[in-house]
Amino acid sequence: MTRIGVLALQGDFAEHIKMLSSLGVDSSEIRLPSHLDSVDGLIIPGGESTTIVQLMDNFGLTEQIKDLIFSGLPVWGTCAGMIVLAADITDDRPKPMGIIDITVSRNAYGRQVDSFEAVVDIPKLGETPFNAIFIRAPAINSIGDSVEILATLDEGQIIAAQEGNVIVTSFHPELTDDLRFHKYFASVVADNNFRNN
Protein backbone atom coordinates (compact mmCIF):
# COMPACT_ATOMS: atom_id res chain seq x y z
CA MET A 1 0.00 0.00 0.00
CA THR A 2 1.25 3.48 -0.80
CA ARG A 3 1.75 6.17 1.80
CA ILE A 4 1.39 9.91 1.25
CA GLY A 5 3.50 12.27 3.35
CA VAL A 6 2.06 15.65 4.30
CA LEU A 7 4.56 18.41 5.07
CA ALA A 8 3.59 19.31 8.64
CA LEU A 9 5.68 22.39 9.46
CA GLN A 10 2.93 25.02 9.25
CA GLY A 11 -0.50 25.46 7.71
CA ASP A 12 -3.47 23.17 7.23
CA PHE A 13 -1.70 19.81 7.06
CA ALA A 14 -4.15 18.21 9.52
CA GLU A 15 -7.02 18.79 7.08
CA HIS A 16 -5.12 16.98 4.32
CA ILE A 17 -4.42 14.05 6.62
CA LYS A 18 -8.10 13.87 7.49
CA MET A 19 -9.08 13.77 3.82
CA LEU A 20 -6.59 10.99 3.12
CA SER A 21 -7.79 8.96 6.07
CA SER A 22 -11.41 9.38 4.89
CA LEU A 23 -10.26 7.82 1.63
CA GLY A 24 -8.51 4.99 3.46
CA VAL A 25 -5.12 6.23 2.22
CA ASP A 26 -2.16 5.80 4.55
CA SER A 27 -0.43 9.10 5.41
CA SER A 28 2.29 10.50 7.64
CA GLU A 29 3.43 13.90 8.87
CA ILE A 30 6.74 15.11 7.46
CA ARG A 31 8.88 17.28 9.73
CA LEU A 32 12.37 15.84 9.36
CA PRO A 33 14.36 14.50 6.39
CA SER A 34 14.16 10.92 7.73
CA HIS A 35 10.36 11.08 7.57
CA LEU A 36 10.64 11.20 3.77
CA ASP A 37 12.19 7.74 3.57
CA SER A 38 8.97 5.79 3.38
CA VAL A 39 6.59 7.99 1.41
CA ASP A 40 5.36 7.48 -2.16
CA GLY A 41 3.92 10.97 -2.56
CA LEU A 42 4.01 14.35 -0.82
CA ILE A 43 1.50 17.12 -0.16
CA ILE A 44 2.67 20.66 0.63
CA PRO A 45 -0.33 22.32 2.32
CA GLY A 46 -1.73 25.82 2.39
CA GLY A 47 -0.51 28.24 5.02
CA GLU A 48 2.09 30.98 4.78
CA SER A 49 4.62 30.31 2.04
CA THR A 50 7.43 32.41 3.53
CA THR A 51 7.14 30.48 6.81
CA ILE A 52 6.97 27.10 5.09
CA VAL A 53 10.06 27.84 2.95
CA GLN A 54 11.95 29.12 5.99
CA LEU A 55 11.08 26.07 8.10
CA MET A 56 11.91 23.68 5.26
CA ASP A 57 15.38 25.24 5.15
CA ASN A 58 15.74 25.17 8.94
CA PHE A 59 14.86 21.50 9.13
CA GLY A 60 17.12 20.55 6.21
CA LEU A 61 14.23 19.37 4.05
CA THR A 62 14.54 21.55 0.95
CA GLU A 63 17.27 19.75 -0.99
CA GLN A 64 15.98 16.29 -0.17
CA ILE A 65 12.45 17.15 -1.26
CA LYS A 66 13.81 18.67 -4.46
CA ASP A 67 15.89 15.57 -5.23
CA LEU A 68 12.94 13.25 -4.59
CA ILE A 69 10.61 15.26 -6.82
CA PHE A 70 13.19 15.43 -9.61
CA SER A 71 13.51 11.63 -9.30
CA GLY A 72 9.77 11.36 -9.88
CA LEU A 73 8.10 11.55 -6.46
CA PRO A 74 4.54 12.79 -6.97
CA VAL A 75 3.88 16.06 -5.16
CA TRP A 76 0.81 18.27 -4.78
CA GLY A 77 0.98 21.84 -3.50
CA THR A 78 -2.18 23.64 -2.40
CA CYS A 79 -2.18 27.45 -2.22
CA ALA A 80 1.00 28.32 -0.25
CA GLY A 81 2.26 24.88 -1.34
CA MET A 82 1.83 25.96 -4.95
CA ILE A 83 3.95 29.08 -4.29
CA VAL A 84 6.65 26.89 -2.74
CA LEU A 85 6.79 24.64 -5.84
CA ALA A 86 6.69 27.40 -8.49
CA ALA A 87 9.55 28.14 -10.88
CA ASP A 88 9.18 31.82 -10.27
CA ILE A 89 7.08 34.32 -8.30
CA THR A 90 6.45 38.02 -8.91
CA ASP A 91 6.93 38.85 -5.21
CA ASP A 92 10.20 39.44 -3.35
CA ARG A 93 9.69 36.53 -0.98
CA PRO A 94 9.87 33.59 -0.57
CA LYS A 95 12.41 32.00 -2.88
CA PRO A 96 10.40 29.21 -4.54
CA MET A 97 11.85 25.74 -5.16
CA GLY A 98 11.72 25.94 -8.95
CA ILE A 99 9.90 22.63 -9.44
CA ILE A 100 6.99 23.36 -11.79
CA ASP A 101 7.21 25.68 -14.79
CA ILE A 102 4.69 28.30 -13.64
CA THR A 103 4.96 31.91 -12.50
CA VAL A 104 2.69 32.94 -9.63
CA SER A 105 1.71 36.09 -7.75
CA ARG A 106 0.86 35.89 -4.07
CA ASN A 107 -2.35 37.29 -2.59
CA ALA A 108 -3.48 38.01 -6.11
CA TYR A 109 -7.19 38.43 -5.63
CA GLY A 110 -7.18 41.73 -3.73
CA ARG A 111 -8.03 42.56 -0.15
CA GLN A 112 -11.81 42.79 -0.36
CA VAL A 113 -12.19 39.38 -1.91
CA ASP A 114 -9.28 37.67 -0.28
CA SER A 115 -11.49 34.68 0.46
CA PHE A 116 -14.07 33.42 -1.99
CA GLU A 117 -15.56 30.27 -3.42
CA ALA A 118 -16.15 29.31 -7.02
CA VAL A 119 -17.83 26.30 -8.55
CA VAL A 120 -15.49 25.04 -11.25
CA ASP A 121 -15.19 22.22 -13.75
CA ILE A 122 -12.25 19.91 -13.23
CA PRO A 123 -12.49 17.35 -16.05
CA LYS A 124 -10.09 14.92 -14.33
CA LEU A 125 -12.57 14.64 -11.43
CA GLY A 126 -15.59 13.85 -13.58
CA GLU A 127 -18.63 15.87 -14.58
CA THR A 128 -19.83 17.13 -11.21
CA PRO A 129 -18.38 20.62 -10.62
CA PHE A 130 -16.03 21.20 -7.70
CA ASN A 131 -16.48 23.86 -5.03
CA ALA A 132 -13.09 25.59 -4.96
CA ILE A 133 -12.25 27.60 -1.80
CA PHE A 134 -9.71 30.41 -2.17
CA ILE A 135 -8.03 32.03 0.86
CA ARG A 136 -5.58 34.84 0.14
CA ALA A 137 -4.83 32.80 -2.93
CA PRO A 138 -1.97 33.08 -5.37
CA ALA A 139 -2.66 33.42 -9.10
CA ILE A 140 -0.89 31.47 -11.82
CA ASN A 141 0.25 34.14 -14.29
CA SER A 142 1.93 31.98 -16.87
CA ILE A 143 2.75 28.35 -17.55
CA GLY A 144 5.40 26.59 -19.63
CA ASP A 145 4.60 24.41 -22.67
CA SER A 146 4.83 21.17 -20.74
CA VAL A 147 2.31 22.23 -18.08
CA GLU A 148 -1.24 20.91 -18.39
CA ILE A 149 -4.13 23.09 -17.22
CA LEU A 150 -6.46 21.14 -14.91
CA ALA A 151 -8.95 23.91 -14.12
CA THR A 152 -9.70 27.56 -14.75
CA LEU A 153 -12.16 30.12 -13.43
CA ASP A 154 -14.89 31.19 -15.86
CA GLU A 155 -12.85 34.18 -16.98
CA GLY A 156 -9.92 31.91 -17.89
CA GLN A 157 -7.69 32.37 -14.83
CA ILE A 158 -5.73 29.11 -14.34
CA ILE A 159 -6.31 27.66 -10.85
CA ALA A 160 -4.94 24.12 -11.12
CA ALA A 161 -2.13 22.67 -13.21
CA GLN A 162 0.06 19.61 -13.58
CA GLU A 163 3.50 18.97 -15.02
CA GLY A 164 4.23 15.25 -14.90
CA ASN A 165 4.45 14.22 -11.25
CA VAL A 166 3.83 17.76 -9.94
CA ILE A 167 0.32 19.10 -9.29
CA VAL A 168 -0.64 22.54 -8.00
CA THR A 169 -3.96 24.11 -6.99
CA SER A 170 -4.43 27.72 -5.92
CA PHE A 171 -7.47 26.63 -3.89
CA HIS A 172 -8.02 24.28 -0.93
CA PRO A 173 -9.74 20.94 -1.64
CA GLU A 174 -8.78 19.92 1.92
CA LEU A 175 -11.27 22.46 3.29
CA THR A 176 -14.26 20.83 1.61
CA ASP A 177 -15.81 17.43 2.16
CA ASP A 178 -15.34 16.59 -1.52
CA LEU A 179 -12.70 13.87 -1.59
CA ARG A 180 -12.27 13.74 -5.36
CA PHE A 181 -9.10 15.83 -5.69
CA HIS A 182 -7.37 13.81 -2.98
CA LYS A 183 -8.56 10.65 -4.70
CA TYR A 184 -7.07 11.90 -7.97
CA PHE A 185 -3.72 12.60 -6.30
CA ALA A 186 -3.79 9.20 -4.58
CA SER A 187 -4.32 7.59 -7.98
CA VAL A 188 -1.34 9.50 -9.43
CA VAL A 189 0.72 8.26 -6.46
CA ALA A 190 -0.46 4.66 -6.87
CA ASP A 191 0.23 4.66 -10.64
CA ASN A 192 3.68 6.18 -10.11
CA ASN A 193 4.65 3.49 -7.58
CA PHE A 194 7.73 5.56 -6.63
CA ARG A 195 9.33 3.26 -4.05
CA ASN A 196 9.22 0.21 -6.32
CA ASN A 197 10.56 1.82 -9.46
In angstroms, give the least distance from the CB of 146 to ligand GLN.
25
Assess contact for 24 and 186: CB atoms under 8 A. Answer: no
Q: Of 79, 127, 148, 182, which one is the catalytic site residue?
A: 79
Contact pick of 48, 101, 121, 178 for ligand GLN (by CB under 6 A): 48
Q: Which of 87, 84, 43 is nearest to 185 (CA)?
A: 43
Task: Return the number of the residue (13 or 184) whose C-beta is nearest ligand GLN.
Answer: 13
79 binds ligand GLN (CB under 6 A): yes
Per-position DSSP letters for 110-150, written without gaps between them = -STTSEEEEEE--GGG-SS-EEEEEES--EEEEE-TTPEEE
**Cis before 94? omega within 30:** yes
Residues 81-120 that bind ligand GLN (CB under 6 A): 83, 106-107
Q: Of 15, 16, 163, 174, which one is the catalytic site residue?
A: 174
79 is catalytic: yes
Q: Just list the catalytic residues.
A: 79, 172, 174
- Residues forming contacts to ligand GLN in the complex (CB under 6 A) are 46-49, 79-80, 83, 106-107, 135-136
